[in-house]
Amino acid sequence: MSQVTLYHNPRCSKSRETCQLLRDNGIEPLVREYLKDVPSADELRDVLSALGISARELLRTKEAEYKELGLADTSLSDDQIIAAMVQCPKLIERPIAIRDGKARIGRPPESVLEIL
């Protein structure tokens, strides 16, 4: 089986649950603490492609930085939103499991099982 990469925040309960769910299913994910190892804009574009969603759909809208950076502005392009996520990675929804060019957001954690 190919490697599963997990964009993970150990302080997030859903992220911890998703990591444990993968392990319970015999998969030791390659954990990427994206707040410390911030993905590049190109990496985020790849993740968005694997998820099949827009950059806006990956934004955490309840973070203070969402409001501070004016990200509710619907005229912002995906590139502008991606740049904001690179600048402030806590805006990236989590956790994200990636395998073989497919990805799922672990909300609920069981959704990541779809790509296994």
Active-site annotation holds for 19: no
Set 5, 12, 35, 45: catalytic member: 12
Residue 29 shares a structural domain with residue 61? no
Question: What domain range includes position 59?
Answer: 40-91
Query: Does one domain contain both 44 and 16?
Result: no
Sheet containing strand 30-33, edge to edge, reads 30-33, 5-8, 96-99, 102-105
In the prediction, which pLDDT does 86 show? 98
Residues 53, 74, single domain; the answer is yes
Total domains in the chain come to 2
The average pLDDT across 18-22 equals: 97
**Is the pLDDT assigned to residue 2 strictly greater than 90?**
no
Spatial CA neighbour of 51 closest among 105, 90, 111, 5? 105
Residues 85, 45 share a domain = yes
Q: Are residues 74 and 101 in the same domain?
A: no
Return the CATH number at 49.
3.40.30.10
Give residue-wise pLDDT tens across range 65-83: 999 999 999 999 999 999 9
Q: How far apart are CA 53 and CA 30, in angstroms?
A: 23
The answer on 64 and 102 residing in a single domain is: no
| Same-domain status, 5 and 20 | yes
Torsion sign over Cα 47, 73, 85, 67: negative
Are 80 and 98 within one domain? no
Q: What is the pLDDT of residues 40-70, one digit of tens each?
A: 999 999 999 999 999 999 999 999 999 999 9
